[in-house]
Amino acid sequence: MLFNYCSKNNLPLDTLTINEINEQVLNKINEQKIKSLIIVNDDLNKICDLIESLKENVVIYTKYKKKINNILKERYTYQGFNRSVLNEVKRQMLLNLKPTDYVIDATIGNGYDTETLARLVPKGKVFGFDIQEAALLKTKERVSNFSNVYLYLMSHEYIDKLDYDQKIKLVVFNLGYLPGNNKNITTKSSSTIKAISKALNLLSNDGLILVTVYPGHEEGLKESILINKYLKNNNINYLIKRNTNKKEAPYLIIIYKNNN
Ligand SMILES: C[S@@+](CC[C@H](N)C(=O)[O-])C[C@H]1O[C@@H](n2cnc3c(N)ncnc32)[C@H](O)[C@@H]1O
């Protein structure tokens, strides 16, 4: 969250001042790449609605910083929450994890999810998998300050090969390819489904799997169809979350260990 406090006579020049939140204002802020914003509306709930929709790099000037932070904490949301399905992934992590949990990041990539998980389970463990050395190196660097992360250069279809001394609370899959790297090195439906099935066996009774699917590219579309089929055919308890009705947009599948 990018917050700043400023007094009336100390306003930055490139800042847009708004007192009303509507679609038009939002588009203006996001499309014109406005970097900072002063909110003078006193309705803190409305301000929070707005903040949830703003790009994470927009700096917000408000004297209600503390109160706003408290409201967002209660909502389990934050700036940019409405803009990306990955924010829902984070929200699910926040909602479901406690400090002693064991978790798996099945596709570590650049390590953002691994880092979020490492923060959320300081007394637990994070096990991370990827098939690319570049991903392992990036993630290793990102989590170098954490001592609860264990990384493996190994396909997630073998996640059951490790000796976990505790049930796993949450497994996260962010499918597709590593942004900025070879797009041909992407997750494939057969190994993804094998891994999901094995992950289900490793979960505690209240455990869950978060799968972000990208049907916008060819392999991702195939993956999306086949994962869906697998979940339906096996009577698995799952929920689909979308933040847009565009068919090609990424979406989240939440898979629950328990059927009730
Ligand atoms: C979209 S990226 C993950 C992004 C990552 N979660 C982050 O926070 O930066 C997908 C990753 O899955 C990895 N991957 C592809 N097939 C895999 C497999 N069979 N097992 C584990 N990782 C795999 C790719 O190498 C890539 O790094």
Give the Å distance between the CA of 174 and the centre of ligand 1.
Answer: 6
- The domains located in the chain, with CATH, are 3-82 (no CATH), 84-256 (3.40.50.150)
Which of 131, 138, 141, 171 to mutate to test ligand 1, by most ligand atoms within 8 A of the CB atom?
A: 131
Write out the two tokens for 138.
């990036």
In this prediction, residues 144-170 reach a mean pLDDT of: 97
Q: Does position 15 have pLDDT exceeding 70, yes or no?
A: no
Give the Å distance between the CA of 118 and the centre of ligand 1.
Answer: 17
Q: Does position 211 have pLDDT exceeding 60, yes or no?
A: yes
Q: Does position 19 have pLDDT exceeding 70, yes or no?
A: no
Q: Which residues contact 51 (CB under 8 A, 6 or more apart)?
A: 1, 60, 68, 72, 78, 79
In this prediction, residues 169-174 reach a mean pLDDT of: 98
Write out the two tokens for 71.
């409201």
**What percent of the chain stands above pLDDT 70?**
84
More confident residue, 219 or 79: 219
**Ligand 1 close to Cβ of residue 116 (< 6 A):** no
Q: Which residues contact 123 (CB under 8 A, 6 or more apart)?
A: 99, 100, 148
Q: What is the pLDDT of residue 34?
A: 61
Q: How confident is the model at residue 57 (pLDDT cuts 50, 70, 90)?
A: confident
| Pairing of β 102-105 and β 237-241 | unpaired
Q: What is the pLDDT of residue 182?
A: 87
240/106 Cα distance (integer angstroms): 19
Q: What is the pLDDT of residue 199?
A: 98
42/21 Cα distance (integer angstroms): 12
**Ligand 1 close to Cβ of residue 110 (< 6 A):** yes
**Ligand 1 close to Cβ of residue 189 (< 6 A):** no
More confident residue, 55 or 124: 124
For residue 162, which of 171, 174, 150 has the smallest C-alpha distance? 150
Q: What is the pLDDT of residues 222-254, one digit of tens each?
A: 999 999 999 999 999 999 998 877 889 999 999
Q: What is the pTM of this model?
A: 0.80
Average confidence score pLDDT of the chain: 87
> From atom 27 of ligand 1, which residue's Cα is the shortest distance away?
109
